[in-house]
């Protein structure tokens, strides 16, 4: 079962992707995680990606496509995978579609987690991250036990640059311009399913599992 998660930044698609991966025992593949690992390790790709991410811009296709195709060719993807953060643009979707067709494969479901922009700005500005161990929190929904301190390693929590309201607004603008057309693309393919992302996390997941069976 090959699944793509769609939705604006902060719509909760990453959380849902992890839950899907766990339930159906398939890998959760997040381009964001791949980029962050490269940034943390100081690779050339990481430095290049960081320039774009810090401005709330999308990482260019050529930096993204190769990593992803290598990843889905690995043995643990044999029974499927959940893609989170890719494709973000029509050219990426076309490259992925072409690559899968050559393998005699295709995307089975594109799940669109639909959340209005104003919800997203509020949601993302409440996020806090530990730069040391990678743990993430939300001041309202998943607060740390001690304000500003990571439960796991005791390091200081920060509001990441890409979660600041002004950056989020820019990311949403980019999303609507470049990523929104994917909804039409996968609708035409007959694989798009939309769920209400403003519901409680477990209710969103229940709606998704009802679709996937």
Which residue, among 115, 118, 121, 107, has the nearest Cα to 56 in the 3D structure? 121
Q: Which of 36, 88, 123, 128 is catalytic?
A: 88
Which residue, among 29, 23, 24, has the nearest Cα to 5 in the 3D structure? 29
Active site residue 160: yes
Q: Which bin fits 93, alpha (ψ -120 to 50), beta or left (φ > 0)?
A: alpha
Active site residue 51: no
Q: Which of 36, 123, 127, 128 is catalytic?
A: 127
Active site residue 128: no
Active site residue 13: yes
Q: Which of 13, 36, 123, 128 is catalytic?
A: 13
- What DSSP string runs through 183-205? HHHHHHHT-EEEEETTS-HHHHH
Is 4 in contact with 87 (CB distance < 8 Å)? yes
32: Cα within 13 Å, side-chain hemisphere: 18
Cα separation, 171 vs 106, whole angstroms: 28
Active site residue 71: no
Q: Which of 18, 50, 71, 160 is catalytic?
A: 160
Phi/psi for 135 (5° steps) reads -65, 145
Report, as residue numbers or ranges, the catalytic residues: 13, 88, 127, 160, 171
């Amino acid at each position: 079962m090959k699944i793509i998660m769609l939705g604006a930044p902060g719509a909760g698609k990453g959380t849902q992707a992890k839950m899907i991966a766990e339930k159906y025992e398939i890998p959760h593949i997040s381009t964001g995680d791949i980029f962050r690992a490269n940034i943390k390790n100081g690779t050339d790709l990481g430095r290049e990606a960081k320039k774009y991410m810090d401005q709330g811009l999308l990482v260019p296709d050529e930096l993204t496509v190769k990593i992803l195709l290598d990843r889905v060719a690995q043995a643990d993807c044999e029974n499927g995978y959940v893609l989170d953060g890719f494709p973000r643009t029509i050219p990426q979707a076309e490259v992925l579609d072409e690559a899968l067709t050559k393998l005699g494969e295709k995307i089975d479901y594109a799940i669109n987690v639909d959340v209005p922009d104003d919800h997203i700005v509020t949601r993302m500005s409440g996020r806090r991250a530990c730069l040391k161990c990678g743990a993430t929190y939300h001041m309202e929904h998943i607060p740390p036990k001690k304000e500003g301190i990571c439960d796991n390693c005791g390091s200081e929590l920060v509001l990441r640059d890409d979660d600041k309201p002004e950056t989020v607004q820019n990311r949403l603008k980019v999303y609507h311009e470049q990523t929104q057309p994917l909804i039409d693309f996968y609708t035409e393919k007959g694989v798009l399913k939309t769920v209400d992302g403003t519901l409680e996390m477990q209710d969103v997941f229940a709606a998704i599992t009802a679709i996937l069976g």
